[in-house]
Amino acid sequence: MDYFEGGQYFDYGNVIYFTDANYDESNRLVHGQIGIIGFSAGYEIFGLTLGEADWDQVESTLGTSYVAQSPEDNSESYLLGEMWSYEYRTEHYSLVFYSKTQDGIIDGAFLMKNAI
């Protein structure tokens, strides 16, 4: 079993599911919920191929209602540290695109369940 930040994750190539599943004191799997889905280069989302699309293409497809964060803003993030990120947020979920450079090629994205 593979773990990240205290929960089990499932890696299917261009898609990784991060859960809060773990084992109890009897070494039995305690089923969890998916909290984050990660998408890497080569995955297509909203007609944009990650690893090929740049920020201008994302913005023209999804609009400008996002929050941009610099690597400094993300320095304490275990997922986004040292990356530029662009977050589209709804009531229950956030879609976060990330890039090594400002306005550069989008390296990947995370679909995250917002904290309640």
Spell out the per-residue pLDDT of the chain, length 116, in tens.
576 666 788 889 999 998 888 888 898 888 888 999 999 999 999 999 999 999 999 999 999 999 999 999 999 998 898 999 999 999 999 999 999 999 899 999 999 998 86
The encoded tokens of residue 5 equal 């930040």
- For 93: left if phi > 0, alpha if psi spans -120 to 50, otherwise beta; the answer is beta
Q: Say what the pTM is.
A: 0.88
Dihedrals φ, ψ of 104, to 5°? Answer: -95, -165
Classify residue 83 as exposed, middle or buried by CB count within 10 Å of its CB (0-12, 13-18, 19+): buried
Quickly list H helices, 1-116. Answer: 55-62
Residue 31, pLDDT score: 84
Local structure of 63: helix, strand or coil: coil
9-15 contact pairs (CB < 8 A, 24+): 13/40, 14/39, 14/40, 14/41, 14/42, 14/43, 14/50, 15/39, 15/40, 15/43
If one counts the domains in the chain, the total is: 1
Residues 87 and 96: beta-carbon distance below 8 Å: yes
For residue 29, the enclosing domain spans 3-113
- For 26: left if phi > 0, alpha if psi spans -120 to 50, otherwise beta; the answer is alpha
